[in-house]
């Protein structure tokens, strides 16, 4: 395999025309013949560049609205022919096939078309056929052909051509080929996922996921693990869409925790209330509603100020100066908000290492989508948990129904429970968490831990009693026994929200009735492993 290959002819057909003209001029300066198609050819000609239309190369006109223009032996033969193979060279001579040494193709914007909510026919029309075929052909023949699939690589190609007298090196061609196959894989993944969605098929025979590198990370969850962050075609508002206004690079754990924080705070409609979620290790350590962000933040922080140290803060409204000042009073890793005032940005800016992410909106907690988890030898794929307590028919199962105030807190607590690792127990009062038990192997332990953390918070705040006194309690799944409920009642809970569905529901309901505690069933479980 020869290391350097002289580029004599380039075929260029791009949807994204950024940097195109300068790149093409750079190619021409090395005496490289330009062949192009459709709108790309017009753009090059309008810039004063000499261009051969692909129809001149193939001897065949573009047809069928451009669907058939590069699907021709003179194109694919020029890409696939092994230059040092005498038989291939003979076939090229016999059939008048000219070598194509550089292919520059970026694909029809299928992902963007889907993201903007286009109709079925528009999406289908934006499925590229000739582009992926040429990319795969050129990448396979990387011993002789260089393939470029995005403008980001224009500079590297021109640099090599300048350094090596109009030639590319094998190392560059290999790197470009690897990227090319990854690009077509990601593209096909987006198309197949779209088809599965349009067909309502939750379990297609083959499933693929793709994304584009956002950034390589210093390491993963731990320093001995490598990591990178990829953006998927899904335009869900959050860490992937956010503009980082300031602060050092995000870590793997920062990204994971920030995503958890923003998904949690998005449960609270900003038109109805201000809300703040403080997250540590992907679990809320304080969530609250308020008349404004500063009130919500103070209530959330009061739940567990110890765990909040070094945490992630998510807000559901534009970050204002007052809230920014309060949040920056303790060590915080990341703040994420839909937007921020200039004054708030300036306040956060005084903390050089504090990251401020402006997501441009809130994710819709009701939107459909998929989540993916790797297991040994496979992937677990499921639909996103888009159930919200607002749509649930709450059923009172005890003699006493909750009061209006209790019902408001019960709904609040169940919103939060959805975003806490199972087994989950949430104590809430006045639309704020006052005790959170997360990730325990038994529900009774979660209830105990949440109550104990509430006691610790009360001591920190110098309160006469734990805020669990007169609180409500939420459980992400049913109480398998009455013991966990009794712990919550002992802590001071007066009302309970849980899915129900245990074989011992009657036993649990009786325990509530015996203590004049109101209980409602949601019929919906929020396991979060």
Average pLDDT over residues 195-199: 94
pLDDT reading at 91 higher than 90: no
The count of residues in the chain is 529
| Helix/strand/coil for 412 | helix
Region label for 389, one of left (φ > 0), alpha (ψ between -120 and 50) or beta (otherwise) = alpha
**What is the pLDDT, as a whole number, of residue 2?**
61
pLDDT reading at 1 higher than 70: no
**What is the pLDDT, as a whole number, of residue 419?**
97
Token readout for 477 is: 């799944």
The structure tokens 């090596």 sit at 164
CATH architecture for segment(s) 238-358: 3-Layer(aba) Sandwich (3.40)
| Phi/psi at 487 (5° precision) | -60, -45
Among the four given CATH numbers 3.50.30.60, 3.40.140.20, 3.10.180.10, 3.40.50.1370, the one describing domain 392-521: 3.40.140.20
pLDDT reading at 71 higher than 80: no
CATH architecture for segment(s) 4-199: 3-Layer(aba) Sandwich (3.40)
pLDDT reading at 60 higher than 80: no
Average pLDDT over residues 374-384: 94
pLDDT reading at 465 higher than 60: yes
Predicted confidence band at 457 (pLDDT cuts at 50, 70, 90)?
A: very high
**What is the pLDDT, as a whole number, of residue 61?**
73
Whether 148 contacts 156, CB under 8 Å = no
Closest CA to 239 of 328, 326, 314: 314
Query: Could you tell me the residue ranges of all domains in the chain?
Result: 4-199, 238-358, 392-521
**What is the pLDDT, as a whole number, of residue 176?**
97
**423 preceded by a cis bond (ω within 30 of 0):** yes
pLDDT reading at 53 higher than 60: yes
pLDDT reading at 58 higher than 80: no
Listing DSSP states for 377-400 in one string gives: TEEEEEE-----GGGS--EE-SSS
* Angle ∠(219,180,90) on CA atoms, nearest 5: 145
pLDDT tens, residue by residue, 164-196: 999 999 999 999 999 999 999 999 999 999 999
Whether 60 contacts 66, CB under 8 Å = no
Residue 49 is classified by DSSP as -
Average pLDDT over residues 205-229: 94
Q: Which residues are catalytic?
A: 140, 281
pLDDT reading at 66 higher than 70: no
Write down the pTM of the prediction: 0.90
| Phi/psi at 36 (5° precision) | -150, 180
Q: Which strand (E) or helix (H) includes residue 6?
A: strand 4-6
**What is the pLDDT, as a whole number, of residue 35?**
93
Closest CA to 236 of 429, 37, 370: 370
Task: Please tell me the distance from the alpha carbon of residue 512 to that of residue 406, in angstroms, as a whole number.
Answer: 15
Token readout for 88 is: 């291939």
Task: Please tell me the distance from the alpha carbon of residue 85 to that of residue 335, in angstroms, as a whole number.
Answer: 60
Average pLDDT over residues 319-342: 97
Whether 276 contacts 296, CB under 8 Å = yes
| Phi/psi at 522 (5° precision) | -100, -25
* Angle ∠(120,122,127) on CA atoms, nearest 5: 100
Predicted confidence band at 96 (pLDDT cuts at 50, 70, 90)?
A: confident
In the sheet that holds 283-290, the strands lie side by side as 243-246, 355-358, 332-337, 311-315, 274-280, 283-290
What residues have CB less than 8 Å from 75, skipping those under 6 apart? 11, 54, 57, 58, 100, 134
Average pLDDT over residues 298-326: 97
Task: Please tell me the distance from the alpha carbon of residue 232 to that of residue 211, in angstroms, as a whole number.
Answer: 4
238-358 matches 4-199 in CATH topology: no
Closest CA to 297 of 269, 316, 272: 316
CA distances from 373 to 192, 222, 370, 380 (A): 19, 19, 10, 5
Average pLDDT over residues 46-69: 79
pLDDT tens, residue by residue, 232-244: 988 899 999 999 9
Task: Please tell me the distance from the alpha carbon of residue 490 to that of residue 512, in angstroms, as a whole number.
Answer: 11
Tell me the H-state helices in 32-153: 38-46, 54-58, 73-80, 86-95, 110-115, 120-125, 130-140
Handedness of CA 507, 509, 515, 521 (dihedral sign): positive
**What is the pLDDT, as a whole number, of residue 424?**
96
The structure tokens 């198309």 sit at 191
* Angle ∠(136,179,122) on CA atoms, nearest 5: 65
pLDDT reading at 125 higher than 60: yes
pLDDT tens, residue by residue, 236-282: 999 999 999 999 999 999 999 999 999 999 999 999 999 999 999 99
Predicted confidence band at 488 (pLDDT cuts at 50, 70, 90)?
A: very high
């Amino acid at each position: 395999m020869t290391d350097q290959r002289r580029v004599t002819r380039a075929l260029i057909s791009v949807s994204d025309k950024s940097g195109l003209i300068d790149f093409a001029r750079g190619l021409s300066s090395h005496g490289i013949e330009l062949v192009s198609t459709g709108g790309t050819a017009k753009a090059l000609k309008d810039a004063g560049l000499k261009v051969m239309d692909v129809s001149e190369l193939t001897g065949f006109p573009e047809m069928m609205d451009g669907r058939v223009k590069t699907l021709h032996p003179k194109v694919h033969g020029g890409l696939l022919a092994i230059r040092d193979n005498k038989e291939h060279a003979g076939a090229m001579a016999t059939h008048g096939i000219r070598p194509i040494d550089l292919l520059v193709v970026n694909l029809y914007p299928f992902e963007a078309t889907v993201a903007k909510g286009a109709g079925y026919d528009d999406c289908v029309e934006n499925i590229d056929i000739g582009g992926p075929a040429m990319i795969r052909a050129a990448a396979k023949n990387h011993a002789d052909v260089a393939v470029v699939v995005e403008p980001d690589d224009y500079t590297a190609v021109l640099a090599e051509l300048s350094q090596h007298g109009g030639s590319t090196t094998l190392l560059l061609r290999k790197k470009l080929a690897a990227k090319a196959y990854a690009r077509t894989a990601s593209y096909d993944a987006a198309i197949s996922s779209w088809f599965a969605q349009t067909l309502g098929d939750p379990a297609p025979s083959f499933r693929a996921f793709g994304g584009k590198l956002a950034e390589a990370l210093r390491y993963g969850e731990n320093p001995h693990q490598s990591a990178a962050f990829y953006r998927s075609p899904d335009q869900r508002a959050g860490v992937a869409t956010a503009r980082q206004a300031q602060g050092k690079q995000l870590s793997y754990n920062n990204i994971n925790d920030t995503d958890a924080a923003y998904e949690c705070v998005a449960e609270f409609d900003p038109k109805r209330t201000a809300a703040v979620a403080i997250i540590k290790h992907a679990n809320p350590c304080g969530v609250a509603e308020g008349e404004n962000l500063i009130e919500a933040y103070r209530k959330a922080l009061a739940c567990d100020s110890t765990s909040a140290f070094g945490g992630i803060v998510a807000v559901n409204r534009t970050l204002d100066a007052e809230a920014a000042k309060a949040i920056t009073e303790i060590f915080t890793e990341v703040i994420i908000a839909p937007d921020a005032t200039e004054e708030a940005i300036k306040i956060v800016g005084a903390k050089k290492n504090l990251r401020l992410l402006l997501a441009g909106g809130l994710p819709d907690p009701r939107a459909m989508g998929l989540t993916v988890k790797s297991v040994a030898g496979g992937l677990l794929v499921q639909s996103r948990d888009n159930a919200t307590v607002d749509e649930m028919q709450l059923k009172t199962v005890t003699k006493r129904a909750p009061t209006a105030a209790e019902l408001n807190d019960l709904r609040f607590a169940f919103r939060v429970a959805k975003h806490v690792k199972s087994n989950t127990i949430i104590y809430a009062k006045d639309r704020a968490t006052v005790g959170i038990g997360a990730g325990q192997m038994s529900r009774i332990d979660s209830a105990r831990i949440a109550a104990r953390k509430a006691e610790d918070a009360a001591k920190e705040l110098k309160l006469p009693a734990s805020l669990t006194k007169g609180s409500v309690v939420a459980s992400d799944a049913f109480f398998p026994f009455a013991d966990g409920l009794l712990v919550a009642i002992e802590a001071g809970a007066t009302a309970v929200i849980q899915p129900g569905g245990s074989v011992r529901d009657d036993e649990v309901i009786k325990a509530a009735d015996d203590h004049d505690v109101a209980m409602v069933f949601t019929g919906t479980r929020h396991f979060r492993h």
